[in-house]
Amino acid sequence: MPIDETAFRALLADVAAEAADLNDLLGPLTHAQWRTPTPAEGWNIHDQVVHLAYFDDIAALGFTDPAALTRRVADLLATGDDWVDQINVERADLEPERTLAWFTTSRRCVVETLAAAGPASRTPWFGPPMSAASSATARLMETWAHGQDIRDALGVKTVATDRVRHICHLGVLTRGFSFQVRGVEAPTTDIRVELTAPGGDTWVWGPADAEQRVVGTALDFSLLVTQRRHLADTALTGTPGAAQEWLAVAQAFAGNAGTGRRAGQFDRSTGE
């Protein structure tokens, strides 16, 4: 169901706020720190920010010139399976100050473009077309997830905000996709998801009488569905059966099946 204009404006404010928090983290970094390797194999902090800025730009392009975006997607995919990495390699020499300025500008542009388009407008994408509301949620999720890689690289503790609710919601919506991308038929069993929000409230999805359940913190669930933590490094629990099967493959982002993080790579999340 499409969200209304008020909810959409609140979502866009969260998209902007997530980027602002990341900017605050990036601003004081030295040039050497921008080259710090992150948990994403082969990617340093600079690569993470280039990725965000680039995809902000092409997300905005889809709502201003859909035909141009369709051509851009075809050109990118034609360069080979490593086309995402190529984007970073081609911009490896971009100065950190210019990279951060690019991200700041691209985020402002995509937020303004989505606001003008309205929540129900649609854009072509790398997979199925998506609405402006879905695009905004994806931009927030990407910013948070790649920001997590940067925080991990710098040893900065993650402090969750209620903005992770958007990521949790996306994680629930993409349950079927998580199986599909692996060529596996998704269980159709109802699953109740009960997550403790950063502020202490409980966020729920699914019918109250569902036998299959996922329980834990919103932070752990966000880390899992963005594949920034292995299930073993969270305190999430799932009922044996469909719930546990889902947690083992959960993936909220588009593209091929992600490799995620290995078990024991990080201390278990506290959900704070």
Are 91 and 181 found together in one domain? no
Residue 180 lies in a domain: yes
Mean of per-residue pLDDT scores for the chain: 95
Are 112 and 175 found together in one domain? no
User: Using CA atoms, how far apart are residues 244 and 69, in angstroms rounded to an integer?
Assistant: 38
Q: What is the pLDDT of residues 6-53, one digit of tens each?
A: 999 999 999 999 999 999 999 999 999 999 999 999 999 999 999 999
CB atoms within 10 A of CB 197: 18
Residue 191 lies in a domain: yes
The domain tally of the chain equals 2
Residues linked to residue 195 through DSSP beta bridges, in sequence order: 203, 216
Are 9 and 124 found together in one domain? yes
Residue 129 lies in a domain: yes
DSSP code per residue over 130-175:
EEHHHHHHHHHHHHHHHHHHHHHHHTPPP---TTHHHHHHHHHHTH
Are 242 and 108 found together in one domain? no
Name the percent of the chain lying above pLDDT 90: 93
Domain end marker among 97, 129, 154: 154
The predicted model scores a pTM of 0.94
User: Using CA atoms, how far apart are residues 184 and 179, in angstroms rounded to an integer?
Assistant: 5
Are 242 and 147 found together in one domain? no
**Residue 24 amino acid letter:** D
The better pLDDT of the pair 97, 256 is held by 97
CATH number of the domain at 129, please.
1.20.120.450
pLDDT of residue 271: 40
- The one-character DSSP state at 191 is E
Q: What is the pLDDT of residues 88-138, one digit of tens each?
A: 999 999 999 999 999 999 999 999 999 999 999 999 999 889 999 999 999
CATH number of the domain at 237, please.
3.30.1050
Are 123 and 19 found together in one domain? yes
Question: Whole domain around residue 26: which residue ranges?
Answer: 5-154
Are 135 and 185 found together in one domain? no
Are 128 and 42 found together in one domain? yes
CB atoms within 10 A of CB 260: 18
Are 141 and 32 found together in one domain? yes
Are 34 and 120 found together in one domain? yes
Do the beta carbons of residue 69 and residue 58 sit within 8 Å? yes
